[in-house]
Amino acid sequence: MSNNERLFISLNIAIMVVSDSRTEKTDTSGKALLERLKEAGHQCAEKTIIADDIYLIRAKLSAWIADPNINAIITTGGTGVTGRDGTPEAVQPLLDKELNGFGEVFRTLSYDEIGTSSIQSRAIAGVANGHYIFCVPGSSGACKTAWDKLISAQLDHRTRPCNLVEVMPRLLEK
């Protein structure tokens, strides 16, 4: 291996499916993310389905954010505009830093796939206690777009010119 090559670093990633109606049997979005992260060489730390309630979401996220064995969290669902969609409101108060570019780029990519409907997405990402958090819409198509075109490359230490994994050791610097 040359000095310019980097080794892959497997991460522990938790998946939260935010839904009032999905079950393990009917969940396609969480399964799509699980399949993709495993294919990429990462580990699933935990996968859960939770009701679209900001306090339930925050409680589970807070536990994961406090767990030093989890590196990243991906939520799917609850990013729309209906009265029950509350994932961004649940997550934003927990973030130390927001990665605004994630939502911007995600909506740009989505526009190519679903046109103007992409404005309904409130996808966000950020960092909380040294953990990356990505919140994407609940459709399996949106999950595939987010993973395939954004998240997978940024959670791969080999991605150049830079990626989120290489800065993980510095996330908790004061």
Question: How many residues appear in the chain?
Answer: 174
How large is the average pLDDT for residues 140-150? 97
Residue 26 confidence (pLDDT) above 90: yes
Apex 68 CA angle, 125 and 62, nearest 5: 55
Q: Long-range contacts of range 60-69, CB-CB < 8 Å, 24 or more positions apart?
A: 60/16, 61/16, 61/90, 61/91, 61/94, 61/128, 61/133, 62/94, 64/14, 64/16, 64/131, 65/94, 65/128, 65/129, 65/131, 65/133, 66/129, 69/12, 69/45
Asked whether the predicted pLDDT for residue 122 surpasses 60, the reply is yes
Top pLDDT among 2 and 98 is at 98
- For residues 79 and 52, give the distance between their C-alpha atoms in angstroms, rounded to a whole number: 10
Domains and CATH numbers, the chain: 12-164 (3.40.980.10)
- Confidence band, pLDDT 50/70/90 cuts, at residue 80: confident
pLDDT for residue 2 = 54
The pLDDT assigned to 77 comes to: 95
End-to-end Cα separation, the chain, in angstroms: 34
Predicted structure pTM score? 0.95
